[in-house]
Amino acid sequence: MKYLVLARRYRPQTFSDVIGQEAIITTLKNALRFERVAHAYLFCGSRGIGKTTVARLFAKALNCQALSTDHEPCNQCPSCLEILSGQSLDVIEIDGASNRGIDDIRQLNETIGYAPSHGKYKIYIIDEVHMLTKEAFNALLKTLEEPPERAKFFFATTEPHKVLPTIVSRCQRFDLQRIAQAEIARKLTAIAADLKREATAEAIHLITTFAEGSLRDAESLFDQILCFTDEQVRAEHVRNVLGLVPDELLFELDTAFSEGRAAFAFEMVDRLFQMGKDLGHFTEQLIGHYRRLTVAKTMGTASLHLPEPLLSHVIASTKLYTPSQLFHILETLLTGFAQLQRSSMQRVSLESILLQILRSKNRIPVEVLVRRLSELEQKLLDPAAPVSQPIHIPAPSSLPLEIKSAPTCHEEKIPQISPDKDARPQILATKAPEPIIENALPAAPPLEPPLEMKSVPFNPLLTRVEEKTANAPQIKPERAAAPSPAHEAGRYETLLRFAAVELEGTIKN
């Protein structure tokens, strides 16, 4: 017996075998029940979800000579057997990619007037109908608008936006949806049981994830893996066939992130080269890994339907990140993946992406910086306002001297709020306290008298240009101008800029 691939061997032969398209199947069966069958149907959707299969089943049900009470084709009458074998003269399948010219449509129009040979209707199934030329579509318009009584048209396409609107308006359109992973997993499990083969839940999960809602892709991949091994299908078999890296390597990256080991980026890329993995495919897998962690962090692990022991590893890795860190890492990966595809040095590009991920642990979110700046501005306006705890920077481990209070080499000026009506800040100069140093050596007598140094007061509210202007020798003015409100507002803006620079330096350290 000639071998049939799983996608053809387990193709649905009745409406009840179709999975994931319940609304469309119900509509078609009711059309048969109430005898309200239209002359043209358009089935849209992504690859491998059952567009052509549904069209064949509907054609089989229309011409079935012993339709069941549930409006299912019997698959035993001559009409059903001819359609199953592809030899029916009443159901004609046309490949729109190969027969896309106006001459092909003219030939179709010439034969459409003939009566069906055995069945009730003469049915034309045109697959990939969007590949027809504009002239071919125009030649089909008149036939679709006024078709013969016993002629039906079933169109299938993956790109409905390329079909002329005049064609779509003459059809009943059905948009098929992607099939859920749980339903694909149940189908693959049933196929494995029918073939008397075993497959682990983790292997089935990998296949369904890679299929992206396409049942045909999942069945083709499962057929390929069954040829790869005659033992139990395990997750490592699927990874070897697909060229995926082990999940353990991704979880090692999570551990390196929590420990702040930036060198792991170079180690990871080196291991990928030794394993011969494609860096672009690995980046896609890495994006899927962090998407999985993000979903688990925001919505819980129940929405992922992960098998054990993968679920336990995901729960453990989720605890190592905050939501803002995961959002930032996903944005970094998406931006870096687009640059990686255009780069001629993919290794360096991937190392840069991983370094950004590992360094993002010490990144302070923007909302925290905005909050700190707002509190600092409020503190300037109201000294009694509470301020959140500042970011702690550890001091060096050893110092030559024990310092009680930090010395300053200049006079500090503390902004205070004046009680006048305009509430303008006044700068009050205060003498910095002398540092207290214990166990210090006695100062040696100077060899020569020290030079007289003129103390220049320091004002943090002044910009550099204003500071140079203030310290420069000036001609005796006759009358000092009063500071304008715009000038005072500029001082506050400068202070906020200094605070932002200080926070940025804290982040880099």
Query: Which residues lie below 8 Å from residue 255, measured CB to CB, with a gap of 6+?
Result: 320
Burial bucket for residue 67 (CB in 10 Å: 0-12, 13-18, 19+): middle
pLDDT digits (tens, 9 = 90+) for 443-486: 445 555 554 555 555 555 444 545 555 555 554 444 545 555 55
Q: Which of 243, 102, 198, 96 is nearest to 157 (CA)?
A: 96
Residue type at 25?
Answer: I
Tokens of 208: 């369904």
Lowest-pLDDT range of 45-59, 356-370, 475-489:
475-489
d(CA 25, CA 13): 13
* Percent of all residues in the chain with a pLDDT value above 90, rounded to a whole number: 51
pLDDT of the residue at 378: 82
How many Å separate Cα 188 from the centre of its chain? 27
pLDDT of the residue at 426: 45
Q: How confident is the model at residue 175 (pLDDT cuts 50, 70, 90)?
A: very high
Residue 108 has pLDDT above 60, yes or no: yes
d(CA 68, CA 18): 17
Q: How many CB atoms lie within 10 A of CB 229?
A: 14
193 backbone dihedrals φ, ψ, rounded to 5°: -65, -40
Tokens of 36: 């309200």
Q: How confident is the model at residue 112 (pLDDT cuts 50, 70, 90)?
A: confident
Domains and CATH numbers, the chain: 6-175 (3.40.50.300), 181-242 (1.10.8.60), 247-362 (1.20.272.10)
pLDDT digits (tens, 9 = 90+) for 271-321: 999 988 999 999 999 999 999 999 999 998 888 888 888 899 999 999 999
pLDDT digits (tens, 9 = 90+) for 67-99: 988 999 999 999 999 998 888 889 999 999 888
Rg (CA), the chain: 37
pLDDT of the residue at 362: 81
d(CA 197, CA 203): 13
Residue 395 has pLDDT above 90, yes or no: no
d(CA 295, CA 298): 5
Q: How confident is the model at residue 407 (pLDDT cuts 50, 70, 90)?
A: very low
Query: To the nearest whole number, what is the mean pLDDT of the chain?
Result: 81
Whole-structure pTM value = 0.69
Q: Tokens 């022991």 correspond to what residue? A: 309
494 backbone dihedrals φ, ψ, rounded to 5°: -65, -40
pLDDT of the residue at 504: 64
If you write DSSP's letter for every residue of 175-186 in order, what string do you get? EPPPPPHHHHHH
DSSP classification of residue 442: P
DSSP, collapsed to helix, strand or coil, labels residue 443 as coil
pLDDT of the residue at 145: 86
Q: Which of 177, 179, 180, 153 is nearest to 167 (CA)?
A: 153
pLDDT digits (tens, 9 = 90+) for 233-251: 999 999 999 889 998 999 9
CB 329 within 8 A of CB 361: no
Helices and strands, number each (H, E), in the chain: 20, 9
Residue 509 has pLDDT above 90, yes or no: no
pLDDT of the residue at 149: 86
pLDDT of the residue at 162: 93
Residue 396 has pLDDT above 80, yes or no: no
Tokens of 15: 């409406």
CB 98 within 8 A of CB 128: no
CB 152 within 8 A of CB 37: yes
Q: How confident is the model at residue 389 (pLDDT cuts 50, 70, 90)?
A: low
Lowest-pLDDT range of 125-134, 363-372, 415-424:
415-424
| Helical (H) or strand (E) element with 16 | none
275-276-281 Cα angle (round to 5)? 105
Residue 119 has pLDDT above 70, yes or no: yes
Lowest-pLDDT range of 12-16, 37-41, 108-112, 414-418:
414-418
Tokens of 455: 């103390």
Q: How many CB atoms lie within 10 A of CB 475?
A: 5
Tokens of 293: 């962690």
CB 268 within 8 A of CB 253: yes
Query: 490 or 247, which is more confident?
Result: 247
Q: How many CB atoms lie within 10 A of CB 446?
A: 7
